[in-house]
A and B are shown apart, each in its own frame.
Chain A
Amino acid sequence: MPASRRRNTELSLLILALIVGCGALALVAVARNTDRLAKVIPFMIVLVVGYVAAHLVMRRFAREADPLILPLAALLNTVGLAVVYRLSPKEFGPTQVSWSVVGLVFFVATLLLVRDFKMLARFKYILGFTGLGLLLLPVPFGTTVNGAKLWIQFAGLSFQPGELAKICLVIFFAAYLAERKELLAIASKKVLAFHVPDIKHFGPLLVMWGVSLAVMFYEKDLGSSLLFFSIFLVMLYIATARFVYMAFGFVLFFIGAYIGHQVFSHVQLRVRIWLDVFNPELIGGESYQMAQSLFALATGGLFGTGFGQGRPDIIPAAETDFVFAALGEELGLMGTVAILMIFMLVIARGLRIAVRSRDDFGQLLAMGLTVTIGVQTFIILGGVTRLLPLTGITLPFVSYGGSSLVSNFILIALLLRVSHQGAVEPDPARTAEILIGGRG
């Protein structure tokens, strides 16, 4: 098989990303103690081997896939690892290396198992129910961490089923919507100035609204609730081109959120922390974490304190939800904006993959996956920078955590699969359009 130019680009970028990532890891090791350098070299080797292996699998099984996604993920993953290692060189650092390897294994496995993404449509109901089940699993079985019921403890391991649920649900939505988009888009009634579809087609929307409220009320997890519901609404909008669905959906969500605010004290507290983070009454307790996040970012300033020179370890949960603030303290605005730009690049590539996909399911799937990364990133970055009330959720590829890493590796594997097929498969619809002179 001739080596694809895309794969060569990917390899060059991957090498660059790994040089930056391994360099960051070496820096944090030296910053703490010169003897530590020897301890991180095995980590570097494992990561380089892992990513090169993933790249080689792509050469064989996703030849024409987007060349930027994997290097960008590698950059986020390794820089994130450097921050996690800097915070916890004995515990979370080494574990995160293991999880990265596990994540890469899932990445490769997904590429190998899903040779044609369209086959996923066949399992849409199974995946849909699995996703719902995973999402709601913590309601009866979950343990509460930091006020939210997100975790399942099983056989000594704990995982966040929500992370995997989002992928299952994206596949289900994409398949379901691709099948019914014409039906859903038909506007048969007119309410005020808007053409509104028949009420029965609002069924799925109302069901998802109910599920997202259940997540919010029973698991007390506003972030996940917002994420799932917005993924659904955006996909519904893309499928039907009916803005009214999205508008109506967000109105419903905010009604739900408002009721949640009135009913639940922890939601009120989140809002109060957001509005009044430096209140001396709160700063020693309730708003401590949020304030520490802002102190870290502010201390970092433009250039940051330098790796190992700040005190991001003061922020509670610095290695998970607040990893971005920890990075911002030591790398400054330069570092945080760089991370922001990497995520924007991932999203831009995702949008491109969606546009280039040859069929509705592929487009919806690529968009769903892209929006998942985009909205999740926005929710947590908005939270730690106090743009939004904080809701605990991981920063894809950067935060410490196995469930999150594994799910996001699966996510990009699916995205790359869609990308590859979009590039190699003929486009029957477009050929037909050219023949009959339809619009593009």
Chain B
Amino acid sequence: MERQIRRVGIALIALFLAVFVQLNYVQIFAASDIANNGANSRALIKKYSVKRGSIVTIDEVEIARSVATRGKYKYKRTYPEGELFAHITGYLPFAGEATGVEAAFNDDLSGEGGTLSMQDLQDRLLGSGERGDDVMLSIDSRLQEIARDSLGENTGAIVALDPTTGEIRAMYSNPSFDPNPLASFNTGTAEDYYQTLDPDSGTSPLVAVATRRTFPPGSTFKVLTASAALESGRFQPDSTFPDPNELELPLTNQTLTNYSNTACTGSGQIDLFTALRISCDTTFGIIGLRVPDDIREMAGRMGFNESLPLEIGTAVSRFPNIPDDEEPLRAYAGIGQGEVAATTLQMALIAAAVANGGDVPVPRLLHRIIDASAGTVSEPEPETMGEAMSAQNANDVKRMMVAVVESGTGTNARIEGIEVAGKTGTAQSAEGANPHAWFIAFAPANDPQLVVAVFVQNGGSFGAEATGGLVAAPMAKALLEADRRLRDW
């Protein structure tokens, strides 16, 4: 029987070798493929076993925090302020990719970034639970609330930032959404709520108007056109332009008319300063035709045609490269119409460049990162995207913008006791639709503390009567006044 015993032995060894090979396959060769399967909850359990850092505003309001649970997922992410900061914090979905600050500072919040402190090491060895770093944003919750209240039911966005540091102090988009259900451990709840937000549509509340949607900026863009005109060296604030009833466009029999459908001054001539103050379309149409390359370059320096270096990313604002055979479009580009489209944040940066003596600040949300366990703090240095124009030219544009608020189209933004610089925009959108209302502003003009950009889609509740001065300027004023109170300037 020994021969049979030996054969059975060989057969058993063969069976075990098969298991050995299969183990190598499962645990080594195919291991990462298998382990990365979405249904493997180990990564999720690990993700939720860390007490993720809080996201707080500069005035120390917690806008995202991890709350201990009793389930197998140890910490649940909640957003105490609901929809108010949703587009900024983003959300941490149970299964899927995080968005907003949750994604941008994930390494810090989850404790994976930065240095390993003794406390971290001790936590890890004793398994007493790791803790992520807190992220403090430059957003001021009080200003954010005023932005929300100012917009009310209107679809639109308000961005307020400090022009010298680029720190964003308020950024609210309406419509918004509640990030809490999206962070639910119950994927059914999350999915049901997600579907009510019409996620595949470009107008979904998930898409922040301030940073993710672009619209024709209309006359607010004239600030950029005026800056480019001065930087070209061909024009001064007192350079004069013809003031026709309508501007005849080259290559076609079309004309560009002013908002009033008449000449701007009636005196036959108009200077650049006055043209900006009263928002004269024909003048900027002429500039658009005369220095198209300077305008395009200026737009590039201010951040157009690429995503802005904001931590949470932005849509690309567009300034087209118009070929010679489509020359008429250059006139429209000069007044921020046609194919020009910008985010509200982009328009805030144009004002910031003027306020900041020509330097375009890098917009940022991060104020500091606080490693609670190590007691250290790291703070980013302010940066600029580069010099868009000379300080002299920036000062000239600023004077024009002050005149807009003092005696031009933006008088609704006047504030007692300080000089406010601003520019209105009433932008044509689709055929037959009500115009968009825009306003960009900063104050005080001599020492700018806050830049505000306001956008109200299709004029909001004002409908066809809407203008930037009527709808958007009072909102910008509310923000400026509030920030002046809060920071005592």
- Which positions in A face B, CB cutoff 8 Å? 31, 34, 234, 237-239, 241, 278, 280, 283-284, 291, 294-295, 297-302, 308, 310-311, 314, 328, 332-333, 336-337, 340, 343-344, 347-348, 351, 354-355, 360, 363-364, 367, 371, 374-375, 377-378, 381-382, 385-387
> Which residue of A has the minimal Cβ distance to B3?
A241
Q: Does A295 lie within 8 Å of B1, measured CB to CB?
A: no
Complex Cα distance, B8 from A278, in Å, reads 35
Cβ contact within 8 Å between B45 and A371: no
Does B127 interact with chain A (Cβ within 8 Å)?
yes
B39 and A278 within 8 A (CB): yes
Q: Give the residues in chain A near B22, CB-CB below 8 Å.
A: 382, 385-387
User: Is B42 a contact of A308 with CB atoms below 8 Å?
Assistant: no
Contacting pair A378 B15 (CB below 8 A): yes
Q: Does B40 contact A (CB under 8 A)?
A: yes
Alpha-carbon separation in the docked complex, A337 to B16 (Å): 10
A280 vs B38: C-alpha distance in the bound complex, in angstroms? 10
Determine the chain A residues whose CB is within 8 A of the CB of B72 once the complex forms: 314
Q: Is the CB of A347 within 8 A of B9?
A: yes
User: Cβ of A344 and Cβ of B26 under 8 Å apart?
Assistant: no
Q: Could you list some 25 contacts between A and B, CB below 8 A?
A: A237-B4, A241-B1, A283-B39, A294-B26, A295-B40, A297-B26, A298-B26, A299-B31, A301-B31, A308-B127, A314-B41, A328-B27, A332-B27, A336-B23, A340-B19, A340-B23, A344-B13, A347-B9, A347-B16, A367-B8, A375-B12, A377-B16, A382-B18, A387-B18, A387-B22
Contact indicator per residue, chain B 161-174, by CB within 8 Å of chain A (1) or not (0): 00000000000000
> Contact at A363–B5, with CB atoms within 8 Å?
yes
The answer to whether B39 and A284 touch across the interface, beta carbons within 8 angstroms, is: yes
Please tell me if the beta carbons of B24 and A333 are within 8 angstroms of each other in the complex.
yes
**Nearest CB to that of A301 among chain B residues?**
B31
Return A284 CB to nearest CB of chain B, in Å. 7
| Docked CA distance A284–B39 (Å) | 8
Shortest beta-carbon distance, A347 to chain B, in Å? Answer: 6
Bound CA span A280–B39, Å: 8
Name the residue of chain B whose CB is nearest to the CB of A33.
Answer: B127
Q: Say yes or no: B1 contacts A360, CB within 8 Å.
A: yes
Q: Which of the residues B1, B3, B23, B40 comes within 8 Å of A239, measured between beta carbons?
A: B1
Q: Which residue of B lies closest to A329 (CB)?
A: B42
Closest Cβ of chain A: how far from B73's Cβ, in Å? 11
**Chain B residues whose CB sits within 8 angstroms of the CB of A302 once the complex forms:** 27-28
Q: How far is the CA of A328 from the CA of B34 in the complex (A)?
A: 14
- Is the Cβ of B9 less than 8 Å from the Cβ of A386? no
Q: Chain A residues with Cβ under 8 A from B13's Cβ?
A: 344, 347
- Docked CA distance A302–B32 (Å): 12
Q: Once the chains are docked, how many angstroms separate the CA of A333 from the CA of B42?
A: 18
- Say yes or no for B35: interface residue by CB 8 A criterion: yes
- Kindly state whether residue B20 has any CB partner on chain A within 8 Å: yes
Question: In the complex, which of the residues A299, A344, A377, A385 contacts B42, with contact meaning CB atoms closer than 8 Å?
Answer: A299
**B residues with CB within 8 A of A:** 1-6, 8-9, 12-13, 15-16, 18-20, 22-24, 26-28, 30-35, 37, 39-42, 45, 72, 126-127
Residues from chain B with Cβ under 8 Å of A311 in the complex: 41-42, 45
> What is the CB-to-nearest-CB distance from A357 to chain B, in angstroms, rounded to a whole number?
10
CB neighbours (8 Å) of B126 from chain A are 34
Complex CA–CA separation, A18 to B191 (angstroms): 52
Quick one: closest A residue to B13, CB to CB?
A344
List A contacts of B30 (CB < 8 A).
298
How near does chain B come to A388, taking the closest CB pair, in angstroms?
9
- B residues in contact with A364, CB < 8 Å: 1
Q: A311-B42, A387-B18 are in contact. Are A298 and B27 (CB under 8 A)?
A: yes
Q: Which residue in chain B gives the minimum CB-CB distance to A178?
A: B1
Tell me if B's interface is mostly helix, strand, loop or mixed: helix
Q: What distance in Å separates the Cβ of A391 from its nearest Cβ neighbour in chain B?
A: 15
B41, closest chain A residue (CB): A314
Contacts of A34 in B (CB 8 A): 126
Which residue of A has the minimal Cβ distance to B25? A385
> With the chains together, A280 CA to B126 CA distance in Å?
37
Task: Give A310 to B12 CA distance when docked, in angstroms.
Answer: 32
**Cβ of A278: which chain B residues have Cβ within 8 Å of it?**
37, 39
Contact among A239, A241, A280, A298 for B35, CB-based, below 8 A: A298
Residues of A with C-beta under 8 A to B16: 340, 343-344, 347, 374, 377-378
Please name all residues of chain A whose beta carbon is closer than 8 Å to the beta carbon of B12 when the two chains form the complex: 347, 371, 374-375, 378
Contact A295 B24 (CB under 8 A): no
- Shortest Cβ distance from B242 into chain A, in angstroms? 68
Bound CA–CA A344/B19 (angstroms):
12
**CA A234 to CA B6, docked complex, whole Å:** 12
Which chain A positions have C-beta within 8 A of B5? 238, 351, 354-355, 363, 367
Determine the residue in chain B with the shortest Cβ distance to A284: B39
When distances are taken between beta carbons in the complex, the residues of chain A under 8 Å from B15 are 374-375, 378, 382
Chain A positions within 8 Å of B42 at CB level: 295, 299, 310-311, 314
Closest A residue by C-beta to B9: A351
CA distance A31 to B28 in the complex (A): 25
- Please, which residues of chain A bring their CB within 8 A of the CB of B9? 347-348, 351
In the complex, the answer to whether A300 meets B34 with C-beta atoms within 8 Å is no
Verify B28–A387 contact, CB threshold 8 A.
no
The distance from the CB of B19 to the nearest CB of chain A, in whole angstroms, is 5
Do B37 and A299 have beta carbons less than 8 Å apart?
no
Contact A340 B20 (CB under 8 A): yes
Residue of B nearest to A283 (CB): B39
8 Å CB contact of B4 from A241, A280, A386:
A241
Q: Determine if A378 and B27 form an interchain contact, defined as CB atoms under 8 angstroms apart.
A: no
Closest Cβ–Cβ distance, residue B238 to chain A (whole Å): 70
Contacts of A347 in B (CB 8 A): 9, 12-13, 16
Task: State the CA gap A301–B35 with chains docked (Å).
Answer: 9
Q: Which of A31, A295, A382 contacts B34 (CB 8 A)?
A: A295
How far, in whole Å, are A81 and B31 apart by their CA atoms in the complex? Answer: 26
Q: Which of B12, B28, B39 has the most CB of A within 10 A?
A: B12
Give the residues in chain B near A241, CB-CB below 8 Å.
1, 3-4
Complex CA–CA separation, A239 to B1 (angstroms): 7
* Distance in Å: Cβ of B191 to nearest Cβ of chain A: 14
Q: A299-B35, A301-B35 are in contact. List 7 more A-B contacts (CB 8 A).
A: A297-B27, A298-B26, A301-B31, A337-B23, A364-B1, A378-B16, A387-B22
Residue of B whose beta carbon sits closest to that of A371: B8
Are A336's CB and B1's CB within 8 A? no
Known: A31-B127, A301-B27. A363 touches B8 (CB 8 A): no
Q: Which residues does chain B contribute within 8 Å of A280, judged by CB atoms?
A: 39
Q: How far is the CB of A237 from chain B (nearest CB, A)?
A: 6
Residues on the A chain within 8 Å of B18, using CB = 382, 387
Task: List, in ascending order, chain A residues with CB within 8 A of B6's CB.
Answer: 351
Inter-chain contact A355/B2, CB cutoff 8 Å: yes
What chain B residues lie within 8 Å of A354 (beta carbons)? 5
A362 to chain B, nearest CB (A): 11
- Chain B residues in 8 Å Cβ range of A310: 42
Q: Which residue of chain B lies nearest to A313 when distances are taken between CB atoms in the complex?
A: B72
Nearest A residue (CB) for B43: A299
Min CB distance B289 to A, Å, is: 58
Q: Is the pair A333, B23 in contact by a Cβ cutoff of 8 Å? A: yes
Closest 9 A-B residue pairs measured CB to CB?
Answer: A298-B34, A295-B40, A298-B35, A298-B31, A238-B4, A333-B27, A387-B22, A374-B12, A351-B9
Task: List, in ascending order, chain B residues with CB within 8 A of A31's CB.
Answer: 127
